[in-house]
């Protein structure tokens, strides 16, 4: 980050810098709108300050009272001493603007605004919110909200919130900061993580984010020594580039960042499915780019809790990309195999030495394997659970372990804990400990042992396996994060004109980038087209060309398999008439004459420049397969060619690339090189907002690729 994260400005405007320390860890607080009612919002704020033993000065402001519960009240904010750090504004919407102005006059550094009825309430509310934001920014006030539940800083003992909460947090264990735009979800997350034995250091809800936004808080908290993990619930990421910078910083510091961002929808993929812009929805772009920075992006609240618990305990990259599972249920073997295959997590092949050691440790009727079923042997000898875990975790092929057991009754549960938990202390490989049985009761002794161990504990093997898959995905991202390509120098290439380019111009660009196209040339007249075809040799393809003609086939602008001069002349006249009629008289640059393309697998290679997030590539099955299967990947533009080739294995139709039913494998290396070359060129051409190459023909291995169609679109200005 380019500036100290305690001193921040907002929205790229030239305003006085805010000091987030005055919001998150104030040394003095004023409660505006103090009331003696203990159940009122201000009464709850005052109670919370006392409950946490806030050590700073607390001032009260009330227009109607001289004192509240024996504490003196000032009549107005203007009566405050200069320089109070934070104000809690328990005032109605209509009084917020006046209160912020008064805070500015008295040098108040931060404010929490609980009132609603602002941007979420229509145009009038939006205008009012914009005005209070302007006043706050001009005066360097770190304004939290409006329409928020405030914050709780457990580390420094600062509650600027009306929420009821238990001030006690677990002793020891990983430390987590929570930031969310929803107050309810932030509280829900805090309760869930505390129940898992995690130490929550900060819990902040940002509400409407008129001034202080989620990204600024993450930038501040990631630098805090007392924060090991950040858990984020975001409905909108208003500053994507800053979020990516925060994620990169978290990765550099070895602090996991877990994100739940609702908004996945098929709506972004309907309509013109062959069009890159329709396929690459904003949410999908976000997911591709935040994953690149090592963010663990999850899809459900369960995953938010589960993945945070695992990464808080095991933040480092895995030593092996392969997983292991131990159970005392044979049925779970099949479940684990299916789930891990669906999630793309390879199961480790245990080393021969490990298999031999397991054979010696386990009864003869147990077959060592992964997943490992130790059967009922553990009932007679609970030590087998711990010994099996030790042997499996000692295998270099194993990167993670899920131990999912039927627990039995109280003494049996305790015996399993005594056998397993001491073993896990000697390994830093991620482990999820599961006692199956859903909500069946657990012995208090067992619960205490697991809680004190800080080993992530689950009641559902499915949840444990899915959470562990996120650990594997993040580990892959971390290991690849440092290997990136940079933009290809623009050199003498001129800026592209605004709007779409005709296909023949796009293909000239592709050739300059290093992506092969069919032999051919633009025919300016029918006689010229005949000369081109004669030089190429029949059969040929004809395509009408004009910058604004993006859908040639729809207006009869494509003819394939032209086998003679007579056919060419007839097709030329027919095409000129059809295109003119279908476009209202569009004047063509000419008609492109090309050789027929060789046969291969049709792929789509596209790119989109999101105005907020940046460039992503799209790679998948092309031609008619786009509409039929929607089998595409969104990839960060700075992946290397090798990484892109690895990503292609995730396609549903990856088997087509490897060779199917006697067909040869395609030239995956050439596909990935073409994708990487296009990405480098795009990063050097910020005016280009979209590229669509469909189809890109992938030829047999060693023969390269050929782009049969190309659309380039540049922005105005």
Q: Which pLDDT tens digit goes with each residue over 623-677? A: 766 666 778 899 999 999 999 999 999 988 888 898 877 789 999 999 999 999 9
CA distance 137 to 133: 6
**pLDDT band for position 266 (50/70/90)?**
low
21 to 32, 85, 526, 698: CA distances (angstroms): 20, 9, 74, 56
Of 540, 544, 501, nearest in space to 710 by CA:
501
Q: Are 422 and 400 in contact (CB under 8 A)?
A: no
Average pLDDT over residues 550-559: 93
**pLDDT band for position 363 (50/70/90)?**
very high
Residue written as token pair 């790229």: 12
Residue written as token pair 């929490």: 112
CA distance 113 to 132: 10
Omega within 30 of 0 (cis) for the link into 23: no
600-613: pLDDT as tens digits:
999 999 999 988 89
pTM score:
0.91
Percent of the chain with pLDDT over 90: 83
Average pLDDT over residues 153-177: 94
Of 229, 207, 639, nearest in space to 218 by CA:
229
Residue by residue, DSSP assigns 613-645 as TEEEEEEEE-TTHHHHH--EEEEETT--HHHHH
* Residue 712 φ/ψ, nearest 5 degrees: -115, 135
Q: Are 639 and 288 in contact (CB under 8 A)?
A: no
Average pLDDT over residues 403-417: 94
pLDDT at 274 over 70: no
Mean pLDDT (the chain) is 92
pLDDT at 482 over 90: no
Q: Are 475 and 429 in contact (CB under 8 A)?
A: no
Q: Are 541 and 593 in contact (CB under 8 A)?
A: yes
Structure tokens at 470: 């996120």
Dihedral sign, CA of 264, 268, 273, 274?
A: negative
Average pLDDT over residues 237-241: 93
pLDDT of residue 4: 42
How many Cβ atoms are within 10 Å of 576's Cβ, its own excluded?
Answer: 16
**pLDDT band for position 276 (50/70/90)?**
very low
pLDDT at 491 over 80: no
**pLDDT band for position 3 (50/70/90)?**
very low
pLDDT at 13 over 60: no
Average pLDDT over residues 98-103: 98
Average pLDDT over residues 677-682: 93
563-611: pLDDT as tens digits:
999 999 999 999 999 999 999 999 999 999 999 989 999 999 999 998 8
Residue written as token pair 């996120």: 470
Dihedral sign, CA of 183, 106, 99, 132?
A: negative
**pLDDT band for position 7 (50/70/90)?**
low
Beta-strand (E) ranges in 289-399? 296-298, 323-327, 372-373
Structure tokens at 657: 């690339």
pLDDT of residue 275: 32
Of 146, 154, 166, nearest in space to 47 by CA:
166
pLDDT of residue 279: 41
Alpha helices in 314-370 (DSSP H): 330-343, 352-361
Q: How many residues are listed for the chain in this entry?
A: 717
Structure tokens at 672: 């990935």
pLDDT at 178 over 80: yes
683 to 384, 419, 645, 688: CA distances (angstroms): 56, 55, 20, 9
Average pLDDT over residues 426-439: 96
């Amino acid at each position: 980050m380019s500036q100290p994260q305690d001193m921040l400005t907002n929205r790229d405007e030239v305003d006085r810098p805010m000091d987030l320390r005055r919001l998150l860890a104030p040394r003095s607080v004023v409660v505006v709108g103090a009331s003696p009612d203990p159940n009122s919002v201000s009464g709850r704020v005052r109670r919370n300050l006392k409950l946490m033993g806030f050590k700073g000065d607390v001032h009260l402001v009330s227009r109607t009272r001289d004192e509240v519960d024996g504490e003196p009240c000032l009549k107005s904010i203007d009566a405050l001493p200069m320089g109070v750090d934070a104000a809690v504004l328990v005032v109605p919407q209509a009084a917020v603007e006046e209160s912020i102005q008064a805070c500015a006059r008295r040098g108040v550094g931060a404010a929490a605004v609980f009132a609603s009825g602002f941007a979420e309430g229509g145009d009038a509310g939006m205008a009012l919110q914009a005005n209070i934001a302007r006043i706050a920014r001009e005066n360097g006030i770190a304004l939290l909200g409006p329409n928020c539940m405030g914050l709780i800083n457990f580390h420094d003992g600062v509650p600027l919130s009306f929420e009821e909460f238990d001030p006690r947090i677990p002793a020891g264990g990983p430390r987590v900061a929570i930031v969310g735009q929803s107050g309810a979800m932030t509280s829900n997350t805090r309760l869930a993580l505390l129940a898992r034995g995690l130490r929550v250091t900060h819990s902040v809800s940002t509400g409407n984010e008129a001034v202080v936004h989620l990204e600024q808080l993450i930038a501040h908290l990631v630098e805090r020594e007392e924060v090991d993990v950040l858990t984020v619930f975001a409905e909108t990421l208003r500053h994507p580039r800053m979020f990516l910078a925060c994620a990169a910083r978290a990765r550099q510091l070895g602090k996991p960042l877990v994100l739940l961002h609702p908004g996945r929808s098929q709506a972004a993929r309907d309509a013109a499915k062959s069009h890159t812009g329709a396929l690459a929805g904003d949410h999908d772009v976000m997911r591709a780019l935040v994953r690149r920075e090592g963010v663990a992006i999850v899809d459900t609240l369960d995953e938010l809790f589960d993945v945070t618990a695992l990464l808080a305990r095991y933040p480092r990259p895995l030593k092996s990309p392969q997983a292991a599972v131990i159970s005392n249920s044979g049925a779970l073997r099949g479940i684990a195999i299916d789930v891990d295959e669906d999630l793309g997590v390879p199961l480790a092949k245990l080393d021969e030495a490990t298999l031999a050691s397991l054979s010696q440790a386990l009864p003869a009727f147990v077959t060592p394997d992964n997943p490992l079923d130790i059967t009922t042997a553990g009932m007679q000898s609970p030590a087998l659970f711990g010994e099996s875990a030790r042997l499996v975790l000692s295998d270099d092929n194993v990167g993670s372990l899920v131990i999912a057991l039927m627990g039995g009754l109280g003494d049996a549960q305790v015996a399993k804990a005594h056998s397993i938990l001491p073993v896990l202390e000697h390994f830093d490989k991620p482990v999820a400990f599961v006692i199956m049985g859903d909500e069946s009761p657990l012995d208090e002794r067992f619960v205490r042992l697991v809680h004190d161990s800080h080993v992530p504990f689950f009641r559902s093997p499915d949840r444990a396996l899915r959470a562990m898959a996120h650990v594997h995905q993040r580990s892959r991202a971390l290991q690849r994060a440092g290997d990136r390509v940079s933009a290809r120098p623009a050199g003498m290439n001129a800026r592209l004109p605004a709007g779409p380019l005709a296909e023949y111009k796009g293909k000239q660009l592709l050739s300059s980038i290093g992506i092969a196209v069919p032999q051919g040339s633009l025919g300016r007249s029918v006689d010229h087209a005949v000369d081109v075809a004669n030089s190429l040799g029949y059969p040929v393809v004809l395509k009408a060309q004009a910058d604004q003609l993006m859908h040639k086939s729809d207006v009869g602008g494509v003819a394939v398999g032209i086998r003679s001069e007579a056919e060419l002349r007839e097709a030329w006249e027919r095409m000129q008439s059809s295109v003119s009629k279908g476009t209202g008289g569009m004047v063509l640059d000419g008609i492109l004459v090309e050789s027929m393309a060789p046969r291969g697998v049709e792929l789509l290679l596209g790119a989109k420049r999101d105005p907020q997030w940046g460039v992503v590539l799209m790679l998948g099955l092309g031609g008619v397969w786009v509409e039929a299967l929607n089998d595409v990947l969104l990839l960060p533009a700075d992946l290397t060619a090798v990484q892109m080739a690895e990503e292609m294995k995730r396609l549903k139709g990856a088997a087509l690339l490897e060779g199917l039913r006697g067909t040869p494998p395609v030239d995956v290396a050439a596909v990935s090189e073409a994708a990487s070359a296009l990405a480098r060129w795009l990063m050097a051409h910020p005016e280009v907002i979209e590229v669509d190459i469909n189809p890109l023909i992938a030829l047999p291995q060693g023969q390269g690729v050929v782009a049969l169609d190309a659309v380039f679109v540049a922005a105005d200005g």
